[in-house]
Amino acid sequence: MASSLDLSGFFEEEEVSQRKIRFTSTHEPEELFSKIENSATHMGFKVQRGQSKLKVMQNCTGSKSPKNKDSTSFLVCTEVFELGPSLYVVEIKKSHGDPAVYRQVKLLQPTADL
Total count of residues recorded for the chain: 114
Give residue 69's pLDDT: 42
C-alpha to C-alpha distance for 84 and 107, rounded to whole angstroms: 26
Q: Which helix (H) or strand (E) holds 49?
A: strand 46-49
- Residue 56 CA to residue 48 CA, distance in Å, equals 7
Cα–Cα nearest to 62, from 93, 108, 98: 98
Q: Could you report the per-residue pLDDT of 50-102, keeping only the tens digit for each?
A: 888 999 888 765 544 444 444 558 888 999 999 999 999 988 888 877 777 77
Q: Look up the CATH architecture of domain 18-112.
A: 2-Layer Sandwich (3.30)
Query: What pTM value is reported for the model?
Result: 0.64
- Type of residue found at 59: N
Q: Domain-by-domain residue ranges, the chain?
A: 18-112
